[in-house]
Chain A
Amino acid sequence: MKHKRLRKFFFYIGVAVILIYFLFPFYWAVVSSIRPASELFSSHQSLIPFKIQLNSYIQVFTERPFARNILNSTIVAGSATLLCLVIGSLAGYAIARLKFAGKMLVMLFILSVSMFPQVSILGALFQILRSVKLINTYPGLIIPYIALTIPLTVWTLQNFFRDMPKELEEAAYIDGSGKFSTFLKIVLPLSAPGLVATGLLTFIFSWNEFLFALTFEQLPNMYTVPVAIAMFTGYYVVPWGQIMAASVIVTIPLVVLVLIFQNKIIAGMTAGSVKG
């Protein structure tokens, strides 16, 4: 009995260590973002802030186009996600349900892209986008993001489609419904949870992407959130208070998303990799 209690005690110490390890950097970012500059730039900072000040948050929006950066990211990641779901669900359905020659090849073609190092196509993609005048535009980032996220989208969606009972589709076909209208009216509504899970992953990926955004959007007004946060500099010192404030601002919506859709995100992440 005593032995068991001791084990439980150590187990919960382990849990506490894990929680502190993963959450402390966020706590520290919040604390640093509300600390007055005089305290922030001192070598001995208290673990708990005694004076609270919101200057950093105000400066992020008044001294920089950060509101515009958030808008850019929302437009780019939102459009990329929607388009990717439309295009990817079609392919995912074909792979899961339709029988056609060369399916294995199509699959390999799609999956091989997920292995592409982004930097390998960076230079040429820049040339191509420049030749059609898409540098420093939204489509110049949305289109590459669709290509980057479509392998994962197709792969997870075909897993969801495969797990759906076939009977409803078969009944629709027997009633004379065509492939396309069956897909639209029966399959898509039934697979809504899968679409949400996949869409969340696509959105998070596009929202977080850095290398393409850094290279294809070169005007501060067109920066996405990650580029803006990477580029924060000041005249004399690194504006750490502002960097932390901006980090907290973009982390909060993601935390909310994670808390609400925890199970869906995990389902999307692990779909396909666990079944093997």
Chain B
Amino acid sequence: MRVKNIDPLHRTDPIYAAIFVIPTLAVIGFIAFWPLGQTFYNSLFKFALMYPQSKVFIGFSNYGKLFQDSRFMNDLWNTVRFSLWSVGLETLFGMLVALMLNKKFKLRGLVRAAVLIPWAIPTVVSSQMWRWMYNDNYGIVNSLLLSLHILKKPIVWLGFPATAMPAIISVDIWKTTPFMILLLLAGLQMIPEELYEAARIDGANAWQRFWSITFPMIRPTLGIALIFRTLDAMRVFDIVYVMTKGAANTETLSVYNQWTLFTKGFIAPYFGYGSSMSVMIFLIISIFAFFYVKTMKIKLD
């Protein structure tokens, strides 16, 4: 019997490959790239969502307006502030817990499962649970702090800029640190034990072992976790929408954009303006992602 194609897996087969790949490309094309293009197109016009027939072409002037919109600039800063604090603290905290979980101990399985649950539940649910705990009259946070005499009067946590943003950040940290922990833990478990043994024989202490072995070995995993988390944080919507709807200077770009498109731009001619904001958010995040991937030197393949 003659065997054709000794190595069929490596044969170039454009038609088969096309059949396998086209459904995915079609879905992405229609649902992601087409709307993205249309968003850009919309951003060149002045019109309301409900009255597309009275569209007026205005070129790039929506973009000019964007930079004079102090609310936009303020929300950009809020988004950056939120992301820096949230990702920074959860990286620190996540690394600490991952290092603990990397040791063998009795309750390890339980802790790992417990950590997964905040990650698995809807963000809306975790936001509501924490909104209730932060409630000024009946919340457990105030009642605990009052009974411990740390506070003299209850605080309206979600009502003031000084406390609302930290409260929102605390919820995000609770919700997303698990992702950090589990990713870093998986990275830690790939580090061969022999490296640590050799370092111990050389007399390196725990701190030295961390900086000379653990950190360099876990850097690629940390890089990817940071990209995922930062991009997520920059897009934050759910937590802010549920906890404050953007009040008390907590509004982020996504919240402002959704409001501009669907509340303000529904019957008033601001849908095009909202679209220019969408494009700008896309650009900010793309530049950021590009920069991140470059500096982290991560290979995607």
Instruction: Kindly state the interface size class of chain B when it binds its partner.
Output: 35 or more
Quick check: A230 and B242 within 8 Å, CB to CB?
Answer: yes
Instruction: Say yes or no for A54: interface residue by CB 8 A criterion.
Output: no
Q: Which residues of chain A from 114 to 131 have any CB-CB distance to chain B below 8 Å in the complex?
A: 115-128
Complex Cα–Cα for A99 and B242 (A): 47
Q: Which residues of chain B from 1 to 21 have any CB-CB distance to chain A below 8 Å in the complex?
A: 3, 5, 7-14, 16-21
Complex Cα–Cα for A269 and B28 (A): 22
Complex Cα–Cα for A95 and B37 (A): 27
Instruction: Kindly state the interface size class of chain A when it binds its partner.
Output: 35 or more
> With a CB–CB cut-off of 8 A, which chain A residues contact B299?
276
> With a CB–CB cut-off of 8 A, which chain B residues contact A19?
107, 110-111, 114
> With a CB–CB cut-off of 8 A, which chain A residues contact B20?
90-91, 93-94, 98, 183
Instruction: Say yes or no for B148: interface residue by CB 8 A criterion.
Output: no
Complex Cα–Cα for A257 and B37 (A): 39
For this complex, 29 residue pairs linking A to B, each with C-beta atoms less than 8 Å apart, are: A22-B118, A22-B178, A23-B117, A43-B154, A45-B140, A90-B21, A98-B20, A100-B17, A100-B18, A100-B21, A110-B24, A113-B33, A117-B278, A123-B42, A123-B275, A124-B35, A124-B37, A150-B28, A173-B5, A183-B20, A210-B124, A227-B124, A247-B128, A247-B129, A250-B125, A255-B117, A270-B183, A274-B187, A276-B220
Residues of chain B at the chain A interface (Cβ within 8 Å) = 3, 5, 7-14, 16-21, 23-25, 27-28, 30-39, 42, 49, 52, 97, 100, 103, 105, 107, 110-118, 120-130, 132-133, 135, 137-138, 140, 142-143, 147, 154, 174, 178-179, 182-183, 186-187, 190, 220-221, 224-225, 228, 231, 234-235, 237-238, 241-242, 253-254, 257-258, 261-262, 265, 271, 274-275, 278-279, 281-282, 285-286, 289, 298-301
Residues of chain A at the chain B interface (Cβ within 8 Å) = 11-12, 14-15, 18-19, 21-23, 25-26, 28-29, 32, 40-45, 87-88, 90-91, 93-95, 97-101, 104, 106-111, 113, 115-128, 143-144, 146-147, 150-151, 154, 166, 169-170, 173-174, 179-180, 183, 204, 207-208, 210-211, 214-215, 225-227, 229-230, 232, 240, 243-244, 247, 250-251, 254-255, 257-259, 262, 265-266, 269-270, 273-274, 276
